[in-house]
C-alpha cells in the first residue's frame, strides 16, 4: 500500500490470476475521497510487466482529470 500511495496507482503483476496484469487508480470527489476507480487489465503477453508503470501513470493522469471534473482540487 505504501508503494501505491506514493505512486498514485496500483499494479497487479499476475498475483490474482496467472497471466493477467492490471493497473488501477482512484477517482476522487471534491473532498478527496475515492468514489470510483479506473482499471486496465490485459493478458501478460499483450500487457507486459515492463509496461505496467508507464501504463499506470497514464491511468493515474486520466483519473486525476476525472477527479478534477468532480471538484477535486490538487493540493
Cβ–Cβ < 8 Å for 44, 19: yes
Residues 20-31 have pLDDT tens digits of: 999 999 999 999
Instruction: Express each pLDDT in 39-65 by its tens digit.
Output: 999 999 999 999 999 999 999 999 999
Asked if 74 and 47 count as a contact pair (C-beta separation under 8 A), the reply is: no
pTM: 0.90
The whole-angstrom distance between residue 23's C-alpha and the CA centroid of its chain comes to 5
The answer to whether 70 and 26 have CB atoms below 8 angstroms apart is no
Amino acid at each position: 500500500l505504501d508503494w501505491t500511495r506514493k505512486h498514485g496507482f496500483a499494479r497487479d503483476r499476475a498475483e490474482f490470476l496467472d497471466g493477467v496484469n492490471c493497473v488501477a487508480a482512484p477517482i476522487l470527489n471534491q473532498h478527496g475521497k475515492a468514489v470510483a476507480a479506473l482499471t486496465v487489465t490485459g493478458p501478460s503477453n499483450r500487457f507486459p510487466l515492463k509496461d505496467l508503470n508507464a501504463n499506470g501513470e497514464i491511468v493515474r493522469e486520466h483519473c486525476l482529470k476525472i477527479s478534477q471534473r468532480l471538484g477535486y482540487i490538487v493540493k
